[in-house]
Structure 1
Amino acid sequence: MNITKESTGDLTATIQIDLTAEDYGEKVNAALKELQRKAALKGFRPGKVPFGLVKKMYGNSAMAEEVNKILSESLNNYIKDNELDILGYPIANEEKNQKVDFENQTEFSFFFDIGTAPEVNLEINDKTAVTFYNITVEDEKVDDYLKNIRNQFGANINPETAEKGDLIKGDFVQVNGDGNPIEGAVTHNSSLSIEFVKDEDVQKKFVGAKVGDKIVFNPLKATGNESETSSMLNIAKDDREKMESDYQFTLTEISRIAPAEVNKELFDKVYPTDNIETEEQFRERLRQEASKYFQKESDNFFVHETLEKLVNETDIPLPEEFVKRWMLETDDKLTKESIDHDFEHYAKSLKQQLIVNKIAKDHDIKVDEQDVRNHIKGYFGKQYMIDITDEEKSKQLDALVNSVMQNQEEVRKIYDELFDEKVREIFKNNLKLNKVDVTYDKFIETVNEHHKHHHNHEH
């Protein structure tokens, strides 16, 4: 076997792999002997089919399989041994690769194109300034959280008269212009929330209504939403006659959530281990919870903004044509036209990943299996209020951890989360942070403006 690499550009090269019978012969024979051992052909006892016949029947496919295995292994080893930092993966060079004839050929040459990752010259220090948003939790937000929690832990009651926030249930029947049921009318028992009725005149009809009252209205006009109307009446959206008709609604039930009292019982239900005694303490605990959630959103935006800035300020050349070919080979949904149209966006994502790789290398960022296990264990310990320093309880948690570790998708997600966390801390500890206090609503407005600006810029 002979492997060579020829440069074809600043960041591209072609790897040539030459194979002879010495490289694959023994493995092909071993594969054929295994096939002979298992072969069951009419007229022969199991395992007694002549080797020559097996070779004639399966020789070419066995050779193709072994050659492909050797190619894949050799290519990967060559890239690893020579410490080639490549983009994506190697792509077969269709122009140089000849049609293979396993029947008559014994020597083969294969060509693969590679794209090399550019050198990223980047230092993470306080010469780079980035805005960091510290989101303050206003009293109004705490009020909203408290209202939601009171409703969440409230009791369901059935009052006599409907109010705006109630859920009402009743029977729908399709009617004509005079308000009388039509022949073959649609009838359906369903529910609707009064506050989500967009037509104010219709909404007023429901407020103050009692069980047994009949209200004629046009559901489509009232909701302004075809999907909601279709689901509420159990009819197809394309049945325009039924969709656009008036209906009589006979009220059969009024449901309302009576908010839970703000007292010790509620505090213990929401935060059983915090021993909260007063509403003031409870509101402060809600504020902490909101602050933690807001902080996560702010952190994510901070990393996004930082990577945007670093990409814009760092010269990172890419082998564009190779990257486009690789993308086309990787994703069946992409076309040459769509890649060309959105390449600026794809290139930015790739450059951001190269920057993250550089930071991880320079700062020795690593996440291993034990990190993932510790994270899962800590999560369950907190969730179920288990003292993980207790040896017996710690063993019980280990069983839960082992169960989660079987889910590769979940493990990958946790790995990425821990890795991103470490990158974020590098940014926070080394960059110059211009800290700005903002309300949550102002923060969301800033994020939306940012996305709008960049969307317009890219298109």
Structure 2
Amino acid sequence: MEITLDKHSANQASIKITLNEADYQPKVDAKLKDYAKKAAIRGFRPGKAPVSMVKNIYGTSILVDEINAILGESLNNYLKEQTFRILGEPLPVEKADNSIDWKTQKDFDFEYKIGFVDSVVVALDKNTKGIKYTIKVDDKLINETIENLKSQYGDSTNPEVSEAGDNIYGDMKAAEGDFSKTLSLPLSKISKKLASKFTGISKDAVIEFDAKEVKKEEWSEAFGLTEEESNEAKGTFTFTVKNINRTESAQLNQEFFDKIFGPGVVNSEEEFITKVKETLQGSYDRESKVFTEEELKKALVEKANLSLPDTFLKEWLLRANEGKVTLADVENEYPLYAKQLTWSLISNQIAKDNGIQAEHADVIEKTKEMIREQFASSGLGAQLEASMDMFVDNYLKGNEGQNYMNMLTSVQNEKVLSFVQEKIDLTEKTISIDEFKELLEK
């Protein structure tokens, strides 16, 4: 057997394997004898058919199977000995249908394409800069959240006369053409000037307005029109009021506190405000943590400067998912795949270099945290904890065990990123929620 490697570029190569008769024939002969002992062939008692007859019937399929087994094992062993890291799986270079004569041929040549990276080097030192963001929950954000909750959990009424902030239910028609639509118009989502036409009116009132009075985004956000309908909206419209809907803000009382946080969790307005602040801070701490980690990933990916075998990987993705995706699908999704693959290579290398491991106990604890977050507002409390082991077990066994592997990867990434933050020049920065939103939009 001869195996040769031919590097075409810095990250793509071909491997050629040449087999001669001595490499495979002993295994083929042994398999034929084994078949002969078990084969049931008409005219012969089981196991009594001549080997020559068994070879005539099963010889080619046995030869193909044994050669494929030898190729797989030899290729895997050869790749394990290399210093570079294989990406994806080796792709066999397809031959013409008649290029192999399994009946008479003695020597065989096979070729595979591979993609790889030579090495992954990430120097973690103070030359690498990073920012750890913390979002400050201020009084403005707390007050806005409480007002939204009061509105969300308030009582709905149908007043006789409309006011600013009401929802006006009715029929809208174009003066020209046959366009008509029944809708609920939230006055809070249209301009004050236009909303003034809908305030101080009663049921059965007919309001007339011009399309020019409606801002472009209001057609979809407030009137619920499609993009096509918005583009065609011109001239005069009438709106016939069928009902007026209003949500009265909830009162800050025990009933309201219990609806938000569960029975008896908070028992005063002061405790409620404190709990809202804690909940918001916890939520934004998680968001800022994710954002900080994503920014660190970008910095490490840029520093590592890995060159992926893009052409090979696209072909491998197409072949590995044959019939499920098109070339266009692969082209569209490849940038995200390449980004995730690059980070995976970096994370695994940092973990290997620094003895970082995700333990089973870590996976269990992280799964518990995820489940608690999902049921945070359910009010189950003690019931949830009593059944926690069952929830965890069911989740980790789900998706044919892939959930466990995903959680294992997630734990390792968290440990790697925590380690990275200890080694680099990390600046802590507190920002407002508005500043955070601006960062997300960049």
TM-score (norm 1): 0.72
Q: Hey, what's the Cα distance between the residues in 2 that align with 1:257 and 1:31?
A: 82
Call closer, same or farther: CA 1:160–1:230 in 2, change over 3 Å: closer
- Aligned with residue 397 of structure 1, among 375, 388, 392: 388
**CA-to-aligned-CA distance 1:55-109 (integer Å, 9 cap, x gap):** 9999878876775566445534543466752123323346999943445545432
CA distance in 2, matches of 1:347, 1:13: 19
Which amino acid in 1 is paired with 2:393?
N
AA aligned to 2:75 is L
Matched residue, 1:22: 25
- Corresponding residue to 1:261 among 246, 251, 254: 251
Q: What are the residue-to-residue correspondences of 1:47-446 with 2, within 5 Å?
A: 71-72=71-72, 74-80=74-80, 85-93=85-93, 99-102=99-102, 104-105=104-105, 107-172=107-172, 174-176=173-175, 185-198=178-191, 200-217=192-209, 222=214, 224=216, 228=220, 232=224, 237=228, 244=234, 246-272=236-262, 275-314=265-304, 316=305, 318=307, 322-331=309-318, 351-367=342-358, 370-380=361-371, 383=375, 384-386=380-382, 393=386, 396-408=387-399, 410-411=403-404, 413-446=406-439
Q: After TM superposition, give the deviation of residue 405 of structure 1 in Å.
A: 2.7
Q: Which amino acid aligns with 2:276?
A: L
SS at match of 1:165: coil
Contact 2:190 2:218 in 1 (8 A): no
Residues 1:376 and 1:101: Cα distance change in structure 2 (over 3 Å): same
Instruction: Give the superposition deviation at 1:286.
Output: 1.7
- Quick one: distance in 1 between partners of 2:391 and 2:185? 42
Report how far residue 142 of structure 1 moved.
0.7
> Does the aligned pair in 2 maintain the 1:155–1:257 contact within 8 Å?
yes
Distance 1:402 1:65 in 2: 40
Residue 146 of structure 1 aligns to a residue whose secondary structure is helix
SS in 2 for 1:191: strand
Letter in 2 for 1:325: F
Q: How many residues align?
A: 418
**Distance in 1 (alpha carbons) for counterparts of 2:87 and 2:161:** 67
**Structure 2 residues without counterparts, runs of 5 or longer:** 42-50, 319-324
1:124 match: secondary structure? coil
Deviation string for 1:380-422 (max 9, x for gaps)? 457331378x8xx3xx333323332343265455444333322
User: Partners in 2 of 1:176 and 1:365 — Cα distance?
Assistant: 70
Structure 1 SS opposite 2:214: helix
Relative distance call for 1:144 and 1:66 in structure 2 (3 A) is: farther
Q: Encode CA deviations 1:223-273: one digit per residue, 9 max, x unaligned.
A: 63598399857x9947987x5464432211222221211123222322237
Structure 1 residues 253 and 106: CA distance shift in structure 2, 3 A: farther
Residue 153 of structure 1: how far off its partner (Å): 1.9
How big is the shift at 1:146? 0.9
Range moving further from structure 2, 374-383 or 130-139: 374-383
Q: Could you tell me how far apart the structure 2 residues matched to 1:31 and 1:152 are? A: 76
Identity %: 26
RMSD of equivalent CA atoms: 4.8
Distance 1:127 1:78, change over 3 A: same
The answer to whether the Cα contact below 8 Å between 1:260 and 1:266 also exists between their aligned partners in 2 is yes
CA–CA distance in 1 between the matches of 2:249 and 2:281? 24
TM-score relative to the length of structure 2: 0.74
User: Retained in 2: the 8 A contact 1:16–1:112?
Assistant: yes
Name whichever of 24-33 and 436-445 sits farther off.
Answer: 24-33
Q: Structure 1 CA distance, aligned partners of 2:57 and 2:219?
A: 60
In the alignment, is the contact (CA less than 8 A) between 1:214 and 1:248 conserved in 2?
yes
Return closer, same or farther for 1:137/1:238 CA change in 2, 3 Å cut-off. Answer: closer
CA distance in 1, matches of 2:98, 2:120: 37
- Deviation at 1:374? 3.4
Answer whether contact 1:230 1:237 (CA < 8 A) is retained: no
Give yes or no for contact 1:32–1:59 (8 Å, CA) kept in 2: no
**Structure 1 runs not aligned, ≥5 long:** 40-50, 450-459
8 Å Cα contact 1:168-1:194 kept in structure 2: yes
The 8 Å contact of residues 24 and 70 in structure 1, kept in 2 or not, is answered as no
